Amino acid sequence: MSTNRSKEKYDSLARYYDQRWERYLEVTHKVAIDLLEPKGNDIILDASGGTGLLIERIISTIGDEGKFYLCDISKEMLDIAENRLIKFRNVYLSQQDVHHLDFDDSYFSKVLSASSFHYYTEPYEVLCNFHRILKHEGALIIVDWCSNSLHFKLFNILLRLLSKYHVNIYSSNELKSLIEKANFVVEKIINFKHGLWNLVGIRAIKQR
Ligand SMILES: C[S@@+](CC[C@H](N)C(=O)[O-])C[C@H]1O[C@@H](n2cnc3c(N)ncnc32)[C@H](O)[C@@H]1O
């Protein structure tokens, strides 16, 4: 299953991840934080939060007054996150698959997923899980690769043929429709680039 494969992939990449993708992570995390609009009393889940760099950046933006949860399927990524975030209070890490999240209903004020949505084998189920654990009027932020352009459509096809880890890259419209189908109201969509990389950032609100 692709989910287990992405665990395998990130278990082996973990030690090099932050250095290899340094500039890409700066760019995508900045968009994620802008869309997140974090506040001191937020309870935030970084679903597929990897090495914890984004949570560290959020805490350095707003301080550690809120509560910060990070889950990821890869134990090796989580080990790095643990070393990075151990100095902060109110940070909770767990190894979880976003397809089966073990959190209470209506608990989080914000849920985010950065550069991970294209790995989810059942994206609609994952969005329904995010909906379940968000409070009324909570915000969902997704930043991911985007297949709006022809070269990224081709890249998507190539990855599907050649990479055992790859699942699917969505266009902004496909992602928006999926998010709306899961009962969110899409508030903002940003298309942006990093080198050849085509990306999208979406902020959606749970309204019922
Ligand atoms: C490209 S990394 C992004 C990490 C982090 N969000 C960031 O911006 O640096 C993708 C992450 O998604 C995680 N992942 C993939 N599938 C997952 C799943 N089904 N449940 C939880 N995490 C998953 C991987 O283990 C990896 O840490």
Please tell me the residue having the least CA distance from ligand 1 atom 14.
Answer: 48
Q: Write out pLDDT tens, residues 110-153.
A: 999 999 999 999 999 999 999 999 999 999 999 999 999 889 88
Q: Which of 23-37, 82-96, 153-167 has the lowest mean pLDDT?
A: 153-167
User: Domain 2-206: which CATH class?
Assistant: alpha beta
Using a 6 Å cutoff on CB, does residue 3 contact ligand 1?
Answer: yes
Ligand 1 atom nearest 7 alpha carbon: 25
Using a 6 Å cutoff on CB, does residue 10 contact ligand 1?
Answer: yes
Ligand 1 atom nearest 53 alpha carbon: 9
| Domain spans in the chain, listed from the N-terminal domain onward | 2-206
pLDDT (0 to 100) of residue 162: 85
Using a 6 Å cutoff on CB, does residue 50 contact ligand 1?
Answer: yes
Ligand 1 atom nearest 74 alpha carbon: 25
pLDDT (0 to 100) of residue 197: 93
Q: Write out pLDDT tens, residues 22-74.
A: 999 999 999 999 999 999 999 999 999 999 999 999 999 988 789 999 999 99
In the chain, which ranges are E strands? 43-47, 67-72, 91-95, 108-114, 134-145, 184-194, 197-206
62 C-alpha to center of ligand 1: Å? 24
Tell me the pLDDT band of 1, cut-offs 50, 70 and 90: very low
Whether this prediction's pTM lies above 0.85 is answered by: yes
Q: What is the secondary structure of 99-132 as a DSSP string?
A: GG----TT-EEEEEEES-GGG-SSHHHHHHHHHH
